Amino acid sequence: MIVALIISCHVHPESSLPAEATLELPARATGLGEPQVLIKGDNLVLDVLPWSAGGDQGRLWRVTVPLTASMHIAPSDHVVPFADFLPAAGGTWAAINGGFYEGDHPMGLVLTGGVERNALQPGGGSGVFGFGPTGLHIVHRDAWVHGDTEALQSIDRLVDGGVNLVNARLEAPRAARSAVALNADTLCIVAAASDASISDEDGGVRLHATSGRGPTLGEFADLVLAACKADTALNLDGAVSTQLAVQVSDARFEVRGERGTINAVVVATDAGAVTPP
């Protein structure tokens, strides 16, 4: 049963509409159900929540860890299976697909271990998720400054200042989606897909036909805002790239996607677990 209802209508502040234009936007209604814990460890919880939006419904997988967690961007020079980015067995960690790519190249900034693997790009997305001396943060690309040891640019920021940034559009495309979000206490990583795209299997689920099914970007922003109590949130490469993996001791759960990725975000409550083999 759906127990939360969120109705919103926001205009993206980075919209290309001229200042004098008036845009009538439809309200959108999204709902989240009660969470079911799948895996729980010291300072890391994976749960799943039912969602509904725009006549579709599905599952939203949510990982929460404290802001003291370590974060690592796992890079590659070309598209590889998501499993290649995952840490060795054991430990307590979570990983999610990273930013967008074109061909065999990331579309924006990739910084790992203090080494810039790909430069910040105007077309690489409006947001950067970074980790440095000041901790974890999600900022507009124009506000990002060197100093982080780990950073990833992606398309696009979903939430800033606790407000949904995404235009509501009647014809917005639907897809499986993924994101990272922050609030005052918690780092939250999220993946969501339509029930019609999910097949249960040993150790997790498999996604299929993820383009055309799932929440719109605006609906997803509402879901992330509610599920994570997000102050800031950044969309990651979704649809066929949507995938997630969580390990706590011997317990493991995976959301297995349709295609490889060119990088991944890995978070851990023990620093030794964040670097893939």
Residue 136 pLDDT exceeds 50: yes
pTM: 0.88
- What is the C-alpha separation between 67 and 81, in angstroms, rounded? 28
Maximum distance among all Cα pairs of the chain, rounded to whole angstroms = 58
Query: What type of residue sits at position 60?
Result: L
Instruction: Please report which helix (H) or strand (E) contains residue 35, including its range.
Output: none
- What is the C-alpha separation between 40 and 249, in angstroms, rounded? 10
Query: What type of residue sits at position 210?
Result: T
- What is the secondary structure of 78-125 as a DSSP string? EEE-GGGGSPPSSSEEEEEE---EETTEESS-EEETTEEEE---GGG-
Query: What type of residue sits at position 41?
Result: G
| Bigger pLDDT: 126 vs 25 | 126
Q: List, for residues 80-97, the tens digit of each pLDDT value.
A: 999 999 997 678 999 999
Residue 232: both structure tokens together = 């800031």
Q: List, for residues 2-49, the tens digit of each pLDDT value.
A: 444 433 333 333 333 333 333 333 456 789 999 999 999 989 999 999
Q: Please state the rounded mean pLDDT for residues 117-135.
A: 95
Of all residues in the chain, the percent with pLDDT exceeding 90 is 77
- The full set of domain ranges for the chain reads 34-272
